[in-house]
Amino acid sequence: MSDSHLQPGFTLKALRQSRGWSLAQAAEETGVSKAMLGQIERNESSPTVATLWKIATGFNVPFSLFIPTERPCESATMLRSSRTRWPQTQDSMQVTPLFPYDPQFRFDMLAIELASGALSNSSPHDLGVIEHVVITEGELQLAVDGKWHTLIAGEGLRFQADCPHSYRNDGEQPVKFHCLIHYPPPH
């Protein structure tokens, strides 16, 4: 992430300015403090995965917009495990875009690793957003609107993500899963 245009702060500032939002308005829309948003924009702070989710949700943009990836230009794109990850030493979740946001099909496809004992709460996404979660390793506890589901490797759950939802790993090993997030067309 050596180029400034690849930093989450650059993306955040560009989104905010394109909408004509002040830092205060962006804080109100995202639930992230004005001070933290300013630090991210100035690249003085590296946001956690949870903070990036809040910002993406507040701006109604795909999460992968904040993670630099190679943009495919061919009609067929090969999945490579060396894609950019968003690991955080202070965070218990790592997110890797498998296929970054595709405006034609309106989805993000992410590989997520949740550390042992970790809990990640997600604010409701915009109306009509649907998540598809498929476990690849381990066991995941997934709450959708307060109801918990237990998923093991090879199982998946599709749900309306416009309600609160949480991911929890009660196991001793990290749990790995893929998450396809489908965004509805603009109103």
For 90-121, what is each residue's pLDDT tens digit? 468 888 888 878 888 889 899 999 999 999 88
Amino acid type, 132: H
- Surface-to-core class of residue 119, CB atoms within 10 Å of its CB (0-12 exposed, 13-18 middle, 19+ buried): middle
Q: What mean pLDDT is predicted for residues 73-77?
A: 51
Please give the model's pTM, rounded to 2 decimal places.
Answer: 0.74
Per-residue pLDDT band for 82 (boundaries 50, 70, 90) equals very low
Positive or negative CA dihedral for 81, 86, 91, 94? negative
Model confidence pLDDT, tens digit, residues 4-19: 344 788 889 989 998 9
How far is it, in rounded angstroms, from Cα 159 to Cα 118?
Answer: 21
Model confidence pLDDT, tens digit, residues 14-43: 899 989 999 999 999 998 999 999 999 998
How far is it, in rounded angstroms, from Cα 48 to Cα 83?
Answer: 18
Sketch out the chain's domains with CATH numbers: 4-66 (1.10.260.40), 93-182 (2.60.120.10)
Rounded to 5 degrees, what are φ and ψ at 12?
-60, -50
Q: Say if CB 94 and CB 112 are below 8 A apart.
A: yes
Q: How far is CA 54 from CA 2, 76, 79, in A?
A: 24, 32, 27
- Look at residue 168 and tell me whether its pLDDT is greater than 80: yes
Per-range mean pLDDT, top range of 53-67, 87-101, 117-131, 166-180: 166-180
- Look at residue 129 and tell me whether its pLDDT is greater than 80: yes
Q: What is the mean pLDDT of the chain?
A: 84
- CA-nearest of 45, 28, 25 to 36 is 45
